[in-house]
């Protein structure tokens, strides 16, 4: 039994639906469903069970991959950062994992390891993200080194966009420059992958052999217009309830630091959620929450266990124990809350803490 009213509801049907929408967008590509960071905060095993029709999974570390294998998932699993030590390579072979190679030291580990069976290698090119990956003019040398080995390697070339989600002229210019670089240095005989969620919908020409959707699978990250256009549904709905209501006189302040002062006599609702649950402490006054299908503004600093909301405009409708949606309804997205908090929806989804029960829905 869950006594505290704060809960995260996970819509399993929405997960499956979103994957089908991805497949409609990339009919000629295989789909590597990215489920790192504990399935973007939704639960990696829960997510994987709903995304079994994907062609493979992408994770950040071997720990996640082993967890999936232990639960019986037989899909190709790609380690998106590769291995962090050469000792991991034995686990890679034992568990039939695919690995990204982004640095020369990883190449040397591979050359010094004996692989009895074919090993899938995803070679990462730095096309402008400047995070991981080989410089483009070194790719032919890297491939030659690996091909000189007696090990049976299968190659995929990959890169990652830095600005595919940025709907500006600069964002488009940067993305097209990266795509041009990738196309120039990608050997034609190898399979290829560069499209993330944003590129899937904004740059269909980037859909090579594999696409790598992440945040879009969870119904977030693309902005309301694109989410609606491609019928992507929110998967996590974060809810709590009103635990107190009281009137505050004009000129009185609410919460730590007196960050919000009533401009008129105001009805304040205290909601049982705070940064201890993963609601962002840096959410600004005016950040919307939803009560009775209406958006009402945050009023005052977020506390560890509570937030305060100005419900004056719906004073005649609200009562103790009324439901409050913090994000995840059709009219209040996690991205909107993130924008008011100076962050991104990814962080909020991943940041819901362990004390919040995750409850599965299949509606």
Does the structure show a pLDDT above 80 at 276? yes
Q: What is the pLDDT of residue 255?
A: 95
pLDDT higher than 90, residue 183:
yes
Give the Cα separation of 180 and 100 in Å (integer): 21
Asked if the model's pLDDT at residue 11 lies above 90, the reply is: yes
Which CATH number is correct for 12-220, 3.40.50.1860, 3.20.20.10, 3.30.390.30, 3.40.190.10? 3.20.20.10
- Tell me which of 7, 36, 124, 186 is the catalytic residue: 36
Residue 238 has phi, psi (to 5 degrees) of: -95, 125
pLDDT value of residue 3: 85
Give the phi and the psi of residue 307 in degrees, each rounded to 5: -125, 160
Residue 122 has pLDDT above 90, yes or no: yes
Judged against a pLDDT cut of 80, whether residue 1 lies above it is answered with no
pLDDT at 2: 73
Non-local (6+) Cβ contacts of 108 within 8 A are none
At 200, phi and psi to the nearest 5? -55, -40
The fraction of the chain above a pLDDT of 70, given in percent, is: 99
pLDDT of residue 27: 96
Q: Where are the domains of the chain?
A: 12-220, 236-361
pLDDT reported for residue 327: 98
Average model confidence (pLDDT) across the chain: 96
- pLDDT, average across residues 292-321: 98
Task: Give the span between the Cα atoms of 349 and 335, in whole angstroms.
Answer: 10
Q: Residue 254: is its pLDDT beyond 80?
A: yes
**How many C-beta neighbours within 10 Å does residue 81 have?**
17
Separation CA 339–CA 348 (nearest Å): 11
Closest to 182 in 3D by CA, of 169, 166, 196: 196
Provide the pLDDT for residue 197.
97
Region 172-188: mean pLDDT is: 93
- C-alpha gyration radius of the chain: 23
Q: What is the pLDDT of residues 31-66, one digit of tens each?
A: 999 999 999 999 999 999 999 999 999 999 999 999
Cβ count within 10 A of residue 188: 6
Give percent above pLDDT 90 in the chain: 94
The band of 175, judged by pLDDT with boundaries at 50, 70 and 90, is very high
* pLDDT of the residue at 188: 87
**136: DSSP letter:** G
- The mean per-residue pLDDT over the stretch 315-330 comes to 97
pLDDT digits (tens, 9 = 90+) for 58-108: 999 999 999 999 999 999 999 999 999 999 999 999 999 999 999 999 999
Helix (H, G, I), strand (E, B) or coil at 157: strand
pLDDT at 167: 83
Question: 73 with 57: CB under 8 angstroms?
Answer: yes
Domain 236-361 carries which CATH code? 2.40.37.10
pLDDT(363) > 90: no
- Answer whether residue 12 shows pLDDT above 90: yes
| Given 71, 173, 256, 313, the catalytic residue | 256
Query: Burial level of 72, CB count in 10 A (0-12/13-18/19+)?
Result: exposed
Instruction: Establish whether 36 is a catalytic residue.
Output: yes
Does residue 256 have an active-site annotation? yes
pLDDT at 222 over 80: yes
Judge whether residue 269 has pLDDT over 80: yes
- Band (pLDDT 50/70/90 cuts) for residue 362 is confident
Q: Is 342 left (phi over 0), alpha (psi -120 to 50) or beta?
A: left
Q: Which helix (H) or strand (E) holds 57?
A: strand 56-59
């Amino acid at each position: 039994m869950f006594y505290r009213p704060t809960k995260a509801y996970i819509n399993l049907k929405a997960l499956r639906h979103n994957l089908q929408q991805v497949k409609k967008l990339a009919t000629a590509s295989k789909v590597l469903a990215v489920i790192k960071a504990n399935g973007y905060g939704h639960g990696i095993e829960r997510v994987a069970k709903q995304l079994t029709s994907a062609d493979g999974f992408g994770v950040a570390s071997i720990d996640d991959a082993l967890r999936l294998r232990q639960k019986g998932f037989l899909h190709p699993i790609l380690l998106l950062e590769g291995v962090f030590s050469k000792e991991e390579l034995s686990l890679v072979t034992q568990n039939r994992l695919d690995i990204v190679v982004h640095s020369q030291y990883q190449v040397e580990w591979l050359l010094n390891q004996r692989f009895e069976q074919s090993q899938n290698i995803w070679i990462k090119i730095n096309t402008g993200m400047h995070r991981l990956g080989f410089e483009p003019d070194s790719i032919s040398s890297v491939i030659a080194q690996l091909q000189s080995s007696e090990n049976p390697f299968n190659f995929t070339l990959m890169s990652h966009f830095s600005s595919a989600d940025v709907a500006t002229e600069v964002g488009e210019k940067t993305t097209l420059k990266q795509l041009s670089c990738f196309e120039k240095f990608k050997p034609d005989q190898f399979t290829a992958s560069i499209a993330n969620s944003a590129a899937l919908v904004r740059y269909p020409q980037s859909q090579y052999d594999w696409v790598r959707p992440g945040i879009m699978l969870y119904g977030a990250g693309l902005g309301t217009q694109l989410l609606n256009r491609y019928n992507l549904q929110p998967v996590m709905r974060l809810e709590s309830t009103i635990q107190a209501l009281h009137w505050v006189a004009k000129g009185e302040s609410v919460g730590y630091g007196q960050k919000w002062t009533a401009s008129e006599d105001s009805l304040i609702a205290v909601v049982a959620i705070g940064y201890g649950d993963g609601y962002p402490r840096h959410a600004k006054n005016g950040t919307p929450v939803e009560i009775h299908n209406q958006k009402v503004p945050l009023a005052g600093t977020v506390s560890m266990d509570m937030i305060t909301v100005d419900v004056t405009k719906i004073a005649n409708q609200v009562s103790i124990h009324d439901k409050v949606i913090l994000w995840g309804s059709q009219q209040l997205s996690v991205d909107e809350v993130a924008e008011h908090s100076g962050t991104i929806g990814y962080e909020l989804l991943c940041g819901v803490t362990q004390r919040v029960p995750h409850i599965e829905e299949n509606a």
